[in-house]
Every structure is written in C-alpha cells, then in structure tokens.
C-alpha cells in the first residue's frame, strides 16, 4: 500500500458514498456469502474449504469435500484485502476480530513447507505444482499475498504476512533454488510479489517476480509439455491455445493484447511494475505497445475490455460487439491496475483518462447501487428475452445476480473501491499529481509539510477546488493537475485569476509557494458530448454514444416507453442535462430523436414511419437498478 492511500481521506459525496457502502454493506454481505449464510444464492463454501484443509493437516482425514472453483481461495483473499482497506479508515474491532479468526484458520491450513492451497490439500494432495496452466496455485498465492500486505499495512498485524512470506519462500525455493520450469497459467503473483517486496524489503520476492516475467513464453510449448507429462486436467484447457495463456512469445516481443483479458492485464501490471523497479526500457516499451493496442483498438467506450465470451478474451482489433460483449468487471479493474503502474513509469494523461473511464463506468456498473448484487459481464446493449437466454447471449445477463459460482468480480470491486485513494494521487519529489478528482484531504506532512484539501461535486459538478494547509507558512511544490480529454476547455485559476502553468502530456503544472490563503480552482466543460466510433467498429456504424464529464450514458427502457430499439437520435440536436433525484441522485440527459413505428412482419417493403420524441439517458453505471429493462449505449443517428 502506498503512503498516499494511508494519507488520503476521501470525503466527497460520490466515491465517499461508495467507500461507506463497501464498509457498511458490501464487506458484511460478502463475508456472509463466503460463510454460506445468504439464503437463495450461489454457494461459496470458501471459508469451509480452509477449515477442511486445516482438519486434513491436523488429523490426516476430512469428511468435508472441497467445493467450488480451483481458485476459490482467492475470494477469501480479496475479501480480506477489502476489509483491510476499510479498517484503515473505519476502525472496527468486531470486523478486525473476525478477520483475525479467518487468518488464524488460513494459518492452520498451511503445510509445513509453506505451501498453501485448499484445493490441493483437500482434494488432490499428490498433484501439487503439476498443472500450472489450469490449477491457479500461483494465482491464489498472489491474491493472498496482496491481502497479507494490505492487512499488515492497515492494522500493523503481520500474522498473514508471515504466512504468505513462508509461501513466497516456498515458491522461491521451487522455481529459483531448485530450478523448476514453468510460469503461472493465470498471471497475478507477479504484481503481488512486487507488493511483498516493497512491504518486506526482501529482494528474493522482486527476483521471483522478475523471473516469472522473464521466463514467460520463452518456452511457449511449456504448457503443452506439462499436459502431456502429467495427463490430468481441471477444465480441459487447450494447451495449444497460447494466446489464451499469454505465452505465445516472450513478453518483450508481445505487441497485441490477446487471449483472456483479465490474465492479460494482470500480467501487464506485473510487467510494468518490474520495469519501473528495474529500469528495464525494453520491458517498458512492450508495456506501452500493449497499452496502445488495448486503448486504441480493443477498449469499449465504457472502459470495458474483452469482447468475447469464448475464453473471456480479447479478439481482433476493432471487434467490439455490444450485445455479446464479455467486458468482465475484473478486466476493467485489471486495466485500472495496469494504468496506475504505467503512471509510475511516465506521467501521461492517457493512462489516467482510461483509468477514470474504467472506474466511473464499467467498474461501478459491476455492482448494484445497494451493494448486494453484481455483474460479471457488462454488455452495452441488453434485450430481455435474448440477453441471458439465447445461446449466444447467455453470459450477458440483463439483471445482476446475488453471487456467482465463479465469484472473482464482487470482492474485486470491494477491494478497489475501498482503496481508491491509491489511484487518485502520485508524489514524486516536490511534485504532486492529481489523477482522479476525488474530494478529500491529502496529508503531505512528512514530505511537503502540509495538506491539500480537495472540494468537489465530481463527477456531476464541473468544479474542483484545491486548498492548502501548510504546517508552517507555505508549501513549496508543484501541483500537476490532469486535463481530461473529455473536457473541451478546462480553466485553471489561482485565487480567482487565470493561472500561468506549463502543460506536458495532459497535465497542467503549477509551481508556487502555496499558503493557507491560496486556492486553485479547476472548471471543466461539462456539456453533453457525442462520441463516434471508428468506421472499423462495425457494431457502431452510423450510431452515436453520449457522455457528460467522465460518465458514459445509455438509454434504458423504463425511461423510454419500454422500447429503446426503435429509437434514433436527431443529428445536430442539442442535448439538455438536468439534476434528477432518481438512482441516488444523477444528472439525466434529454435529446430530440425519433421513434420508428414498425409493423409486425419480420420483413416489409415499406419504410417504417417515425414520430418525434425525447430520448432520456442515464449514466451507464446506474443501469439495471430498476427491474428488467432494455438498455442501449450506442444509438442510431439520423437527419
């Protein structure tokens, strides 16, 4: 955890509400799910898996069978990580005690040599480390390492950190000291080991992270050989599908984002972190190339990535179908991780712009406004009766369920939203970078001798105000403020007068001796903007999408006579926006358009009649909160 997370106290009415929601609703709800205490929902059994593993190690036998996915342990890890961040801001002795009990149980489930994985301890004790491609041992270890670091840094308690240090040492012994071949089928441990390294200062963990990055794809046939050697499978993966597993070439030679989208961005995050720590320019350049391919050819307007259900994967450049989009919530979270590490490599607003787009649109859409239902898949068009039902659309659910058999997304949302301060700021020397516009107070007392208070009604309000609270008379520093791409004109004033500043790579740099009387205000152009896709994106031909500030909008049936498929937008019409008290308080958008009046025939030679109407649009992150509805982001446009 960076000190900026510890030292930034969120207080705004938008993301601050989410932070409190995670604390008051999401964490307790997910804890009950993990303990199988929520009726009429998908069983988790994740806590019981640890109990079964502990019993197996302590008595040599266990009546309870392992239940769930091979990576079920990671759900507990992500929940613990979310709880750790919440405890940092909202101390809660009862929650902390329950976390300690879970950690105690995890320790009991650890084998003498440091190995920790309930699937193999309970179900397949003789097959440890024999199926790196499918079995997620390193993936689960990585998530638990992240939880361990977060819990140690939030509470000062190191029991879980010690547990995971033993596991990391076990992995180091196997893959470094003993020279075992292979690399993770599902990347994650790379970025986690870098967090372990920074927390413990143990160089072995950095070396191990770098090793897994460096060996990946050097022997691109490794998973094929592994499957032939051990001849057992979890899912029957096709080991010849190298793009799916991100091992088609060594990582420094990869130029296109391919295969499983979550695996890809977790890998790229680890690559970027290793590149930052080792000053590896070739690895940095590979990260930049992969970033450009994602954001210029394979990213949805909502910041979602991964267009295909088959393999939860990137497909081809410009292939971005709306109604069959996979757009996994975890993939956008992974894109945010990647963006944040790219900002460490170089300060450029293209990373923070994409980070903001993914956060405010796809990630927030992944959770119901009440915090108790979740989307795994985030389509950009939904048609009840087809979405979630047709064989090609079964993954694209029109309503959020309470939980999933594969429940990676809900705790991932929880840990991201409870640690959002990590993504809002960077500090380098006497320069402080404001990446995300979140109200709160940043404590810089140990470096720049003061605090910065941020006041805003973002993402609906058009102004952000920075106030300075120096410990002495002034804070000599540079405040670098992102100039978001979506704002046609951004006005920055110092004490009511237009400020002189330098711009570089999408940031405005204000260097001053800031006193308690100084105030920097940033005003954005919050007018509704039309968005048009490249002509290469066939799904969006002759269509338009709308945004206001960082928020992408959509049309939902409940606001448009239960039918958005017959709607089109009138070209050149002016959109109007206005505050609304629905959906926890939003800004709605209205715009002139047409409604086609069609006949009942499947086909006809007659052009459909049309009537004028007003289209009502809501922020995409709020859709699906008012029952079963049609929904569409991209809308046809006509004269």
| Cβ atoms 165, 17 nearer than 8 A | no
Report in angstroms the alpha-carbon separations of 203 from 137, 156, 187, 486. 22, 21, 20, 42
Pairwise CA distance, residues 289 & 256, whole Å:
8
Structure tokens at 477: 């520093």
Q: Are strands 586-597 and 576-580 parallel, antiparallel or unpaired?
A: antiparallel
| Cβ atoms 46, 34 nearer than 8 A | yes
CB atoms within 10 A of CB 476: 13
Local structure of 552: helix, strand or coil: strand
Pairwise CA distance, residues 213 & 183, whole Å:
8
Please state the φ and ψ torsions of residue 46, each to the nearest 5 degrees: -65, -40
| Cβ atoms 171, 141 nearer than 8 A | yes
3-state helix, strand and coil shares in percent for the chain, rounded to the nearest 5: 40, 20, 40
Tokens 């929880």 locate to 414
Sign of torsion, CA 581 583 588 592? negative
ω into 459 cis (within 30 of 0): yes
As annotated, the active-site residues are 312, 408
Please give the angle made by the CA atoms of 192, 358 and 154, to the nearest 5 degrees.
40
Pairwise CA distance, residues 391 & 283, whole Å:
41
């Amino acid at each position: 955890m960076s000190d900026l997370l510890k030292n930034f106290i969120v207080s705004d009415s938008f993301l601050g509400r989410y932070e409190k929601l995670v604390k008051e609703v999401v964490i307790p709800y997910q804890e009950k799910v993990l303990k199988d205490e929520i009726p009429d929902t998908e069983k988790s059994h994740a806590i019981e898996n640890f109990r079964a593993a502990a019993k197996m190690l302590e008595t040599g036998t266990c009546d309870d069978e392992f239940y769930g996915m091979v990576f079920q342990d990671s759900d507990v890890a992500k929940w613990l990580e979310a709880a750790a961040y919440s405890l940092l801001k909202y101390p809660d002795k009862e929650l902390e005690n329950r976390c300690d009990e879970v950690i105690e149980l995890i320790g009991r489930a650890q084998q003498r040599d440091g190995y920790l994985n309930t699937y193999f301890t309970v179900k397949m004790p003789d097959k440890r480390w024999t199926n790196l491609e499918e079995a997620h041992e390193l993936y689960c270890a990585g998530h638990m390492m992240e939880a361990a670091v977060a819990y140690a840094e939030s509470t000062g308690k190191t029991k879980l950190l010690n547990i995971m240090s033993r596991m990391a040492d076990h992995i180091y012994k196997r893959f470094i000291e003993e020279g075992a071949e292979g690399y993770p089928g599902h990347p994650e441990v790379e970025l986690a080991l870098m967090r372990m390294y920074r927390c413990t200062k143990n160089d072995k963990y950095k070396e191990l992270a770098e090793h897994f990055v460096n060996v990946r794809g050097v022997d691109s046939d490794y998973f094929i050989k592994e499957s032939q050697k051990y001849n057992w499978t979890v899912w029957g993966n096709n080991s010849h599908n190298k793009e799916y597993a991100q091992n088609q070439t060594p990582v420094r030679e990869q130029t296109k984002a391919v295969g499983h989208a979550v695996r890809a961005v977790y890998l790229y995050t680890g690559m970027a972190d290793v590149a930052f720590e080792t000053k590896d320019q070739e690895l940095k350049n590979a990260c930049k190339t992969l970033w450009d391919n994602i954001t210029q050819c394979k990213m949805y307007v909502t910041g979602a990535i991964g267009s295909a259900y088959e393999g939860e994967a990137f497909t081809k450049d410009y292939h971005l179908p709306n109604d069959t989009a996979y757009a996994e919530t975890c993939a956008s979270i992974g894109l945010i991780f990647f963006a944040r590490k790219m900002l460490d490599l170089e300060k450029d607003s293209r990373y923070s712009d994409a980070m903001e787009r993914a956060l405010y649109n796809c990630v927030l859409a992944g959770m119901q406004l009440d915090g108790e239902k979740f989307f795994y898949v985030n389509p950009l068009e939904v048609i009840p009766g087809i979405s979630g039902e047709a064989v090609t659309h079964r993954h694209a659910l029109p309503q959020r369920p309470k939980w999933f058999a594969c429940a990676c997304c809900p705790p991932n949302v929880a840990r991201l939203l409870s640690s959002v301060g990590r993504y809002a700021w960077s500090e380098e020397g006497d320069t402080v970078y404001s990446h995300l516009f979140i109200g709160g107070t940043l404590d810089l007392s140990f470096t720049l001798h003061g605090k910065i208070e941020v006041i805003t009604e973002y993402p609906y309000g058009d102004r952000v105000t920075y106030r300075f609270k120096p410990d002495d008379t002034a804070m000599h520093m540079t405040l670098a403020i992102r100039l978001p791409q979506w704002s046609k004109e951004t006005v920055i004033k110092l004490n009511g007068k237009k400020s002189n500043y330098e711009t570089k790579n999408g940031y405005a740099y204000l260097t001053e001796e800031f006193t308690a009387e100084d105030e920097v205000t940033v005003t954005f152009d919050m007018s509704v903007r039309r968005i048009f896709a490249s002509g290469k994106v066939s799904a969006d031909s002759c269509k338009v999408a709308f945004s206001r500030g960082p928020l992408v909008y959509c049309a939902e049936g409940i606001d448009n006579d239960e039918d958005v498929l017959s709607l089109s937008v009138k070209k050149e019409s002016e959109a109007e926006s206005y505050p609304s008290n629905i959906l926890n308080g939003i800004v709605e958008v209205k715009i002139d358009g047409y409604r086609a009046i069609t006949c009942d025939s499947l086909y006809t030679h007659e052009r459909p009649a049309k009537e004028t109407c007003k289209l009502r649009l809501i922020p995409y992150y709020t859709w699906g909160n008012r029952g079963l509805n049609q929904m569409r982001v991209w809308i046809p446009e006509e004269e």
